[in-house]
Amino acid sequence: MALRGLQQFNTFDFEGFIKGKTLLYVSSSPWVKESETLGAKVKVLVARDDTPYSKADITNLGENLEIKVKNKSPEHFSKKFEPMKSEVSVSQIVRAVIWGDFRNNLAIESGDIIAKGSNQNANTHNTSTQ
């Protein structure tokens, strides 16, 4: 018999994952679910990855992350940041979920994306992978 409910005990250390990374703003688009606009999807590029991993050959350099931000328009970000030039931070992590058959995808929802170095509510914490 298979055990159930195990997923709720997994946590994803977003703060540990993002440590040592430089993120560049790429673009923003509407976040739409079932024809309702919920906010914006912000695409960022991992421009530097000095994060310590368990194996030396692991890197996420050049990978894109998509962060969903509720109640913000894509224009909020496109007016504030210049693509491939603006260094940004993910602020107010709401949820970070590892998913996929190989557990190599990451869904992120945050309260905001801010300019790097801004202290505007930049609290990150361990989040559930549910």
Segment 21-37, tens digit of pLDDT: 999 999 999 999 999 99
The answer as to whether 1 is a domain residue is no
What's the pLDDT score for residue 2? 81
**Residue 129: which pLDDT band, with cuts at 50, 70 and 90?**
very low
Which of 96, 92, 119, 116 has the alpha carbon at shortest distance from 106? 96
**Cα torsion 126, 63, 85, 22: sign:** positive
44 pLDDT higher than 90 = yes
Domain that holds residue 37: 6-128
What's the pLDDT score for residue 5? 82
The answer as to whether 97 is a domain residue is yes
3-state secondary structure of 31: strand
What average pLDDT does this structure show over 44-54? 97
Strand 105-115 relative to strand 11-12: parallel, antiparallel, unpaired? unpaired
Percentage of the chain with pLDDT > 70? 91
117 pLDDT higher than 70 = yes
The shares of helix, strand and coil residues in the chain, as percent rounded to the nearest 5, are 10, 50, 40
This prediction has a pTM of 0.86
CA angle 61, 67, 68 (to 5 degrees): 170
128 pLDDT higher than 70 = no
Q: How many domains does the chain have?
A: 1
